[in-house]
Structure 1
């Protein structure tokens, strides 16, 4: 499968998510306004401790630049636009915050058609702004391990990825949104390593669509 087909397969993953489900009450405190008139209007969502979230994303990976340690000069990433996706699970630790695990992946190509892939395995902390429910705005940060692979070369290092998004909740179970995540991926070999000249800090951006299931 060539890169264009692989990219489009990744982008249409969200189309496989069922967008129809049974109508149900929006989560909240159960308060109802105007119920005696047969026209119930529910208050905005309030999540509770133990509520769980499953999230899947797919989108565009945008290479930005590398920053060299020491002089902190920058260099072009020299990568093509690529694809990215993730699978995430988290649980609410209070009414606005979740803590969970995330498995992300990306691919892009160098100018000589070498395939670069990265697989961050991270913990994820998210704060939800829910004042405008059914619209909500997650602010989040990933931190953990990133496995980078360029053909036969593999590098294991840390990563930190802050981001933000906007989600529309279709009902109490399903939400759909858009997210922007900054990837900061250090590739640090240390001053005494034979590859120390290759040390650099990667800076990338992904823009993705998401489908979220609450349960």
Structure 2
């Protein structure tokens, strides 16, 4: 829903604030910081383009998933995510967990023949995740404010349970595609080597 319509009590627990990069100069400056953009450009083999941003107040508590389910890149594997820590990531405030090497697992193909979820049921994909990752030991990221965690868009990850509901885990998570894989009319250059996708906010649910 639109942020202006979110009830105040919703902000006292896990919540995702989508795409503030579309409106906020501060968020764009963080997501396309020169040092970060340089690293992302090396990983993507091309200038990064912000395609989505998520601001969190608390840990996400989201189960293990692949980012490509929700934002499959125009070119295979050319998707990277970065999480900028604004709070300490501790054992009790729902830190991020990741499955190292899971990006080498062949992606699940949904019934429409692609790796993006679209409107497909996630049940079979989650079962596939359980079967293919059972031999991988997940690791937990205990970052400090100012630390940045970067992962491949095909790395299985999620948010641990929150053990202390009073503790926030504020963060800015951004997903990037490669700018050159997107039409120039649908992207905006913001920095020397950083772009944002040109689109409107997602429609609020009716």
Coarse TM-score class (shorter-chain normalised): under 0.3
More helix by share: 2
**TM-score when scaled to structure 2?**
0.24
**TM-score when scaled to structure 1?**
0.24
More strand by share: 1
